[in-house]
Amino acid sequence: MTRFNFFRAICVLLILSITLNFTFCTFAFGAEIFDSNPTLFAQNNGNAETAESQQIQNESYLFWCIRSIGPLFTPIFIIDSVVFLTLAITNWLAIRRENIMPSELTVKFTTALDKKDYQEAYNIAKEDESTQGKIFAAGLSKMSSGYAAAEKIMNEIADEEIMIFEHRLNLLALIASVSPMIGLLGTVFGMIQTFSIIAQAGVTPDPKELAGGISMALLTTAIGLCIAIPALIIYEVLRNKLAKLVFDMAAQTEKIMGKFKT
């Protein structure tokens, strides 16, 4: 799969995820508004209270979570989770041995070098879109100027390619850092709402009124951590995997291209 098709597939995945999440939330909030209208269930307070109790019993845990965290943090967490999922999939697919140093390229390239067919070896490396292919092609193109010049350009290409991988991976680390902060912000909002009710009540406030702010405070923290913890784990796993691949690629490049040393 070429890089263009790869990132086009990721963009389609992102758009579909956002669309599905938006549709789901629209349905969830619509259901909440519909169910919370007492005139649809009863014409008096007694029937309304009965309907409200029935609604609470029948309300799913997911709808309760959405209603508790409110219309401000629901879309924030949805976007945050969609971005996390997209970055995790993108990095997981990108940081693979076959994308960085494919074995097929190594076999074909070394075979051409053993035959002294340098033009064929260059064409093989040039047509390959992997990081190793770019390094081989750049090295052969400068080999006429000496191994030192070829080694310099190979190191530059390697640094540029590794920087691209690390930049994408650091976005995943950013999600792991920001998500708990969003949850903490929701906690502050929920506690402000709770203490505002206590301050305005004058007498002992209704526990049901306090439950809304407390639910927001706890749920936003929990959701933020639920996004941050797997993001941090995936980041560390992929960072170590990338470091191992970079080390192997450097050793393989030195082994193959070192034949040109004089």
Residues 180 and 217 in one domain: yes
Residues 193 and 170 in one domain: yes
pLDDT band at 8 (very low <50, low <70, confident <90, very high): low
Residues 6+ apart with CB under 8 A from 215: 68, 69, 190
pLDDT of 231 reads 93
106-124 burial, b for 16+ CB within 10 Å, e for fewer?
bebbbebbeeeeeeebbeb
pLDDT of 217 reads 81
| Residue where a domain terminates, one of 36, 59, 82 | 59
112-116, 214-218, 239-243: range with lowest mean pLDDT: 214-218
Residues 99 and 181 in one domain: yes
Tokens standing for 230? 């797997």
Q: pLDDT higher for 176 or 30?
A: 176
202 belongs to a structural domain: yes
226 belongs to a structural domain: yes
What is the amino acid identity at position 117?
D
pLDDT band at 6 (very low <50, low <70, confident <90, very high): low
Tell me which DSSP letter residue 179 carries: H
Residues 123 and 227 in one domain: yes
Q: Which residue has the tokens 């301050």?
A: 199
Expressed as residue numbers, the domain containing 240 is 70-260
pLDDT of 62 reads 62
pLDDT band at 116 (very low <50, low <70, confident <90, very high): confident
Whether pTM > 0.85 for this model: the answer is no
What is the amino acid identity at position 228?
A
Residues 37 and 142 in one domain: no
178 belongs to a structural domain: yes
Residues 116 and 2 in one domain: no
- pLDDT tens digits along 68-106: 777 788 888 889 889 999 999 999 989 988 889 888 888
Residues 183 and 242 in one domain: yes
In the predicted structure, residue 16 carries a pLDDT above the cut 60: no
The pLDDT of 97-124, averaged and rounded, is 88
The mean of the pLDDT values for the chain is 77
Task: Out of 21-35, 232-246, 247-261, give the one with best mean pLDDT.
Answer: 232-246
Q: pLDDT higher for 202 or 132?
A: 132
Residues 41 and 100 in one domain: no
pLDDT of 167 reads 92
pLDDT of 235 reads 95
State the helix-helix crossing angle for 147-201 and 61-94, rounded to 10 degrees: 170
Q: Which long-range contacts (CB under 8 A, 24 or more apart) does 253-257 make?
A: 253/132, 253/135, 253/136, 253/139, 253/154, 253/158, 256/106, 256/109, 256/110, 256/113, 256/136, 257/136, 257/139, 257/147, 257/150, 257/151, 257/154
Nearest to 141 by CA among 105, 152, 131: 152
| Residue where a domain terminates, one of 17, 39, 59 | 59
Residues 175 and 246 in one domain: yes
Tokens standing for 118? 């340098």
Residues 156 and 96 in one domain: yes
Tokens standing for 68? 């508790």
Residues 79 and 148 in one domain: yes
The total of other beta-carbon atoms located within 10 Å of residue 68's CB is 20
In the predicted structure, residue 4 carries a pLDDT above the cut 50: no
pLDDT of 229 reads 93
Nearest to 234 by CA among 119, 100, 113, 89: 89
| Residue where a domain terminates, one of 11, 36, 59 | 59
The rounded distance, in Å, linking the Cα atoms of 58 and 85 is: 31
pLDDT of 38 reads 40
Residues 90 and 37 in one domain: no
- pLDDT tens digits along 17-75: 555 554 544 444 444 433 444 443 334 444 544 544 455 445 565 666 667 777 788 88
Q: Give the CA distances from residue 149 to residues 97, 139, 233, 250, 253, in Å, rounded to whole numbers and listed in that order.
A: 27, 8, 40, 17, 15
pLDDT of 171 reads 92
65 belongs to a structural domain: no
DSSP string, 87-142: HHHHHHHHSSHHHHS-HHHHHHHHHHHHTT-HHHHHHHHHH--SHHHHHHHHHHHT
User: Structural domain tally of the chain?
Assistant: 2
Tokens standing for 31? 């259901």
